[in-house]
Amino acid sequence: MNDPDAANGKVSDTFPLLTDDERSAAAHAEMMEKYEERLAEQRRSSIAAGRRKGGIVGAGMAGAMLAVAEIYEGPPKEDAPVTVEASSDPIDLDTDGVEVTVGEVDVAAPPLERLDPIVTNTRKPPQV
């Protein structure tokens, strides 16, 4: 395979090699497009069901309810999910306490002693 474009990081002019971020963005865009198509189909189906059940008035009410729902919910947010990975398990402060060095200062807090829950019976016994 002696393709001169392959040395430049491209398979051809129309199909460049994508980085992981570009693949992720393309997959997200494709997922959003399918979601929008499903949402549009659900809306058409709701309006058609309203028309079958209530005629023109039913279709109008179904469309009005969809419009009110869209106004109430606002536009869809296009936030990508955030993933954070930790290098270790979190510290259990209740059982282990904490010891931290900040600059040249050592800070330590021992674990707290376990206390019994404070619960009172405020319910009256049923009267028969």
Tens of pLDDT, residue by residue over 37-65, are: 998 898 889 889 888 988 989 888 888 98
* Residue scoring higher pLDDT (3 or 46): 46
pLDDT above 80: residue 13: no
Distance CA(13)–CA(22), nearest Å, equals: 17
pLDDT above 50: residue 97: yes
The pLDDT score that the predictor gives to residue 22 is 79
Is the Cβ–Cβ distance between 97 and 111 less than 8 Å? yes
Spatial neighbors of 94 by CB under 8 A, at least 6 apart, are 111, 112
pTM for the structure as a whole: 0.40
pLDDT above 70: residue 112: yes
Question: Which residue type sits at 82?
Answer: V
The pLDDT score that the predictor gives to residue 12 is 43
pLDDT above 60: residue 77: yes
Distance CA(86)–CA(97), nearest Å, equals: 20
User: Mean pLDDT lowest for which of 43-47, 105-109, 120-124?
Assistant: 120-124
The pLDDT score that the predictor gives to residue 16 is 60
Rounded to 10 degrees, what is the CA torsion of 58, 60, 61, 62?
90
* Across 63-69, average pLDDT: 89
